[in-house]
Amino acid sequence: MPNSYSDTPIASHTLAADQPVMEANFNYLANTLGTSNAKNGDHQISIGGADNNAFEGRHRQVCFNNRNGSEPVATSIADGVDSLLYSKNGNVYFSSSLGASPFQLTTYNAQANFGASPNGWTFLPGGLILQYGTSAVNTVGTPTTITFPMTFPTAVLSITMGFVNNAGGNSPAANSAFVKSGSVATNQFVVMNSSSGNLTNIYWMAIGN
C-alpha cells in the first residue's frame, strides 16, 4: 500500500527500531479507513483497543461488490469463519458454515407498494413475499378476479380470506366466499361468492415466493 512500510517487523531488529515503523503503518490504516478519509469514514479501526475514541472499530457503511457467480461458502474462507454477508444482484444474503442454503435478507425496492393503499406487498427475509388487500365481491355465482399488487416471481404458497357481512347479528353462516379451484396464478386468483346477498367485501392475504 502507498505511504507504508513493508518487511516489518524484522527479526534482526530491536523492538525499539521497528515500533515507529509499525505505528506508522497502523496510523496509515486508521487515516485511510477511518473518519479522515474522502469516503466519510466508511470504516473505522481501533488502535488502542478502546471503543471510545475516534477510531472505534465500527463501520458506518459497508460496500459490497456484486457476487454474481457461485454462492460463497463460509468454511472455505478458513480462519474460523462461521458466517458471512454478501450481495448478489442488489440483494444482501446471509450464509452460514452450517451448510444451510443462503438466507436472503433484502430485496431491492421491497416496499414499493407498501403505504397508504389498502392493497400492497412486502418482502419477508428468507425470500417470501407477503401480499394483502381488500376487494368488493360480485353477487352469487359471478366470479371476482383479485389481481395481486405484484406478480409472484415463482409461486403462490397460501391464500387466506376473511369476509364482511352486512346482515348484522351473530350468525353469518349463510354468507361465505371461496377461492375458485384452478384459478390461482402468480398474478391473480378468483373468488366466488356463495352467500345469500349479505356478503359485500373480503380481506385477503397471500404468501408466495
Instruction: Map out the domains of the chain with their CATH numbers.
Output: 1-63 (no CATH), 74-104 (no CATH), 120-208 (2.60.40.3940)
What pLDDT does 65 receive?
A: 85
What pLDDT does 31 receive?
A: 62
What pLDDT does 44 receive?
A: 54
Query: Are 127 and 152 a contacting pair, CB within 8 Å?
Result: no
Positions in the chain whose pLDDT score sits under 70: 1-7, 29-61, 76-80, 109-117, 165-175, 195-199
Kindly state the cell numbers that stand for 148: 395481486
What pLDDT does 163 receive?
A: 78
What pLDDT does 16 receive?
A: 84
What pLDDT does 1 receive?
A: 45
CB under 8 A, 24+ apart: contacts of 155-159: 155/186, 155/208, 155/209, 156/184, 156/185, 156/186, 156/189, 156/206, 156/207, 156/208, 157/128, 157/207, 157/208, 157/209, 158/206, 158/207, 158/208, 159/184, 159/189, 159/204, 159/205, 159/206
What pLDDT does 206 receive?
A: 95
Query: Are 142 and 193 a contacting pair, CB within 8 Å?
Result: yes
Query: Which one-letter DSSP state was computed for residue 138?
Result: P
What pLDDT does 205 receive?
A: 94
CA dist 45 and 26 (Å) reads 9
CB under 8 A, 24+ apart: contacts of 8-11: none
